[in-house]
Structure 1
Amino acid sequence: MNLIDISHIQEARARLQGVIAHHPLAFAPRISKAANAQVFLKKENLQLTGAFKIRGAYNKLATLKERDEREGSNLLAQGVICASAGNHAQGVAYSAQCFKTKAVIVMPENTPLLKVSGTKAMGAEVVLVGNNYDESYAHALKLAKERNLTFIHPFADTEVMAGQGSIALEMMEEQELDVVVVPAGGGGLISGIASAYKALSPKTKIIGVNAKGADALMRSFKAREILNSQSVRTIADGIAVRDVNEGVFERILAGVDDMVEVDEEEIASAILFLLESQKLVVEGAGAVSVAALLHHKLNLNPALKVGAILSGGNIDVTMLNMIIERGLFKSDRKMKLEVVLIDKPGSLQNLTNILTKVGANIVQINYDRTPTSLEYGDVLITMALEIKGKEHKEAVLRSLLEWGYRFSEVV
């Protein structure tokens, strides 16, 4: 299958004028230093719906309206339906509002609350079915037939992919990039991006990034044949796709130069890095491009200009809190200790006085007499401490050793 014709992408961009927010490429010096290249961020996480998906969804509904007017059909007016892990859902829901038609959205049961509530707030009917996108997709197709609704595919649709490709047109007008790094799950975004670049800037390398826990697309790309997964599990829910679509896969083979994968820890570290260093809230799927750069998955050098697409920012606050907490422990800004004390008045106070002198701040403490490993008359103290880095951590541990405490670090 050929790549998407550049005229379709240019027409999509024209339809999107005044609908999507245009955020220029932003040079990221800290990421550039870490990645050993000149890195520019495309901040699609700042779109109205929190992700790039509004582009493809709006373009698809706009073409349905044009077709209805041209052919006298009723595809849009009857209502639309889609399956989505969240971002496409909000794009379809918002676009349906714009075109004054109803939208039914089928989402996996584990979809983050932020994405579910955001979709409902745009007037859509939300149906939670399945453990992943593919199970939701099967149910959505069934509902489409039962309710006579037009199905809007999140990635295996030419007009949807053309809408996503409008991102590339914006990027090309601002910078001549050597490499563009793109999150890849279902493949709609990277197909649109690759189609635009191969038509207008064929020297630019297009690199896709899969999550290790949902790597069907990358494994298929390397093998040059479709290799679906049995299951998916990743914090990058926006690219947690189990099965590879044949039509999209052919376009990826035609336009993508390489694909790499990142694991859960690498994704989490990229989310935290973007939050701290760039002041950007980015979801797991949106952070995989930066994760690939920070963890040196590509062969880069300082002369190369690299575009990294931050595809979405709709991260659940519970997940964000978990990532921040784990990040604080990994970067030695927090630590957890178990300390054995004699269970008598003043023992805990003596311990806290020592920690005060060494400058450690106690943020959580638990007092437990029940562990069977303890001798009678002892108590186990579990505490979380705020510390100031590796050297400070070593000073805390050294101080406890000098005072003769029995303790262990909880990791």
Structure 2
Amino acid sequence: MEKYTFSPDNSDSDTNDSEDSLEDPVCNPNRPVKVTFEEITSAAYRIRTGIVNTPCIRSHLSSLTGMDIYLKKDFLQHTGSFKERGARYAMLMLSQEQRQRGVVAASLGNHAQAVCYHGYLLGIPVTVVMPIIAPIMKIQKCREYNANVIMEGKNMDEAKRIAVALSKEKRLTYINGYDNPQIIAGQGTIGLEILEQVEDIDAVVVPTGGGGLLAGIAVAIKTLNPNIKIIGVESERCASYAKAMENEKPVLTAIEGTLADGLAVPMIGYNAWETSKNLIDKMVTVREEWIAVAILRFIENEKCVVEGAGACGLAAILAGQLDEFKGKRVVLILSGGNIDTTILGRCLERGLAADGRLVKCKVTVSDRPGGISELCKLIGSIGVSIKDVIHERAWVASDVFSVEVKVVCETRDYLHSIELRDLLFSRYKKVKFDNFPLKSGVSSSTD
């Protein structure tokens, strides 16, 4: 693993020349490129033998949501995300000299893996700059494809600047993960496949980060069927496209840590904006707890692991933000499945808590023999599973013969949690539930 830092010649400065020198040459804010339908069909032809034509099948979640939902499972690509489409097309379009020199990219993970994998297949040297917050699993995968991995930068904006500086210093071709016109065209091939696989579509819901996937799919689908609604969805903690819509242009947006790390892009691409701005019917921002619940639903109902970015479409539906499509046919893009196992565990617990199925309470019980045992038996009597028990004596000031017991419980659903709460209140004087979810904030749970 190599470490890279700016040299004095390419460090930040207040001069416009220095700033311009670190801009992506194919993403010019003054001359944005609008990707055409013809470019997308060309991409589809060129990449057809190198990527998977992923299935788009009806979801078991249809009955749960009241919509006819189809899932485009692009996490079934070799590297686990849709990014392979654009990466392969961009690399196939390189000149022989560019192939020999190599390419450089900046990415939190999925774009990096895609470029590394197809660079490995095509014999093209690859360097990737990944922020220090990039998931460990994605870093390791890039190394497995013999890429030069540079861990540098606090976020994607810093990583991108380092990658662009490297491209100029070492004469490498920089491949922007969401705003390179060829990347956008490659991602648009998903739209062509969807229209071949599903009939009578009312809406397509697209996870949105830098805007490349949204732009490509919008062009492909709106060209062939302008009546289909294109819905973008992003986390409220990285709502860069929504900010662009407010300002009518891409603007730098503050981003926070999010379960949808693949969407954490501080500013959407100029080319992506120019291509998509007149084709989007609605942009939805979703809360983090709904993303966690959506990940949980996919595992329980579809038996598939989807990362936060890929779960955003379902999150918007579960949160009631797309209720206008009740009874209609909706396609969700499951864009990626690369999620760290440690993060997955946290997502599932957060999803259970948001769903009203993991609750934490404090109960003051008698400290005499059998007091805690009685509490556990009472909880178990209604079929509630106890996940953890902690008792404290020193901080119960009112009664030296009492002990405060903290209990984490897993229930079947929200109504089961209500039953537990009512039972404890009926038997004990001091009961407190932490963050007990309101019914209005909980979707229907699984049977």
Aligned to 2:252: 228
**Whole-Å separation in 2 of the counterparts to 1:37 and 1:402:** 40
Name the counterpart of 1:5. 36
Following TM superposition, by how much is the alpha carbon of 1:373 offset from its aligned partner in structure 2, in angstroms? Answer: 4.3
Shift of residue 263, structure 1, vs aligned partner? 1.7
Q: Which moved more, 1:23-32 or 1:149-158?
A: 23-32
- Counterpart pick for 1:115 among 138, 161, 184: 138
Q: Which amino acid aligns with 1:209?
A: V
Distance (Å, rounded) in 1 between the aligned partners of 2:180 and 2:306 = 26
Instruction: Give the Cα separation in 1 of the matches to 2:150 and 2:100.
Output: 20
1: CA distance between counterparts of 2:181 and 2:57? 29
Using the TM superposition, name which of 354-363 and 157-166 deviates more.
354-363
Match of 1:44 among 52, 67, 74: 74
Counterpart Cα distance in 2 of 1:349 and 1:201: 64
Q: Contact 1:76–1:101 at 8 Å: present in 2 too?
A: yes
SS of the residue 1:376 aligns to: coil
Is this contact kept in 2: 1:27–1:39, CA < 8 A?
A: yes
Match of 2:161 in 1: 138
- Counterpart of 1:318? 342
Aligned position for 2:218: 194
TM-score (norm 2): 0.83
Structure 1 172/386 Cα, relative in aligned 2: closer, same or farther at 3 Å? closer
Q: Determine which of 80, 83, 88 is the counterpart of 1:53.
A: 83
**Cα deviations across residues 137-184 of structure 1 (Å, max 9, x unaligned)?**
111112222333221110111111111111111112122423221111
The worse-fitting range, judged by mean Cα deviation, of 108-117 and 141-150 is 141-150
User: Any unmatched runs of 5+ in structure 2?
Assistant: 1-31, 436-447
- Structure 1 residue 91: Cα displacement: 0.3
> Which shows bigger deviation, 334-343 or 88-97?
334-343
Change (3 A) 1:328 1:263: closer
Structure 1 residue 360: deviation in Å? 3.2
Equivalent-residue separation in structure 1 for 2:48 and 2:257 (angstroms): 36
Letter in 1 for 2:196: E
C-alpha contact (below 8 Å) 1:132/1:232 kept by paired residues: no
What SS is found at the alignment partner of 2:238?
A: coil
Q: Please show how residues 238-277 of structure 1 align to structure 2 within 5 Å.
A: 238-277=262-301
Structure 2: distance between partners of 1:267 and 1:238: 13
Match of 2:99, SS state, is coil
Report deviation, 1:391.
4.4
Match 1:381 to one of 402, 405, 408: 405
Q: Deviation at 1:268?
A: 1.8
CA distance in 1, matches of 2:178, 2:354: 36
Q: Provide the rounded CA distance (Å) in 2 between the counterparts of 1:404 and 1:231.
A: 44
Distance 1:209 1:394 in 2: 32
What is the TM-score with the length of structure 1 in the denominator? Answer: 0.90
The equivalent position to 2:176 in structure 1, one of 131, 153, 157, is 153
2:105 is equivalent to residue 62 of structure 1: no
8 Å Cα contact 2:396-2:404 kept in structure 1: no
Q: For structure 1, which runs of at least 5 residues remain unmatched after alignment?
A: 69-73
- Sequence identity percentage: 34
Are the aligned partners of 1:12 and 1:163 in contact in 2 as well (CA < 8 Å)? Answer: yes
Match of 2:56 among 19, 22, 25: 25
Question: Across the two proteins, how many residue pairs are aligned to each other?
Answer: 403
- CA spacing shift, 1:239–1:345, aligned 2, 3 Å: same
Post-superposition, which runs of at least 4 consecutive aligned residues in structure 1 deviate over 6 A? none
CA distance in 2 between partners of 1:231 and 1:402 (Å): 45
SS of structure 2 residue aligned to 1:255: coil
Instruction: Supply the distance in 1 between the matched residues of 2:261 and 2:128 (Cα, whole angstroms).
Output: 16
What is the CA RMSD across the aligned residues, in angstroms? 2.3
The answer on whether the counterparts of 1:179 and 1:307 sit within 8 Å (CA) in structure 2 is yes
Shift of the 28–76 alpha-carbon distance from structure 1 to 2, 3 Å rule, reads same
Output the CA distance in 1 between the equivalents of 2:232 and 2:380: 49
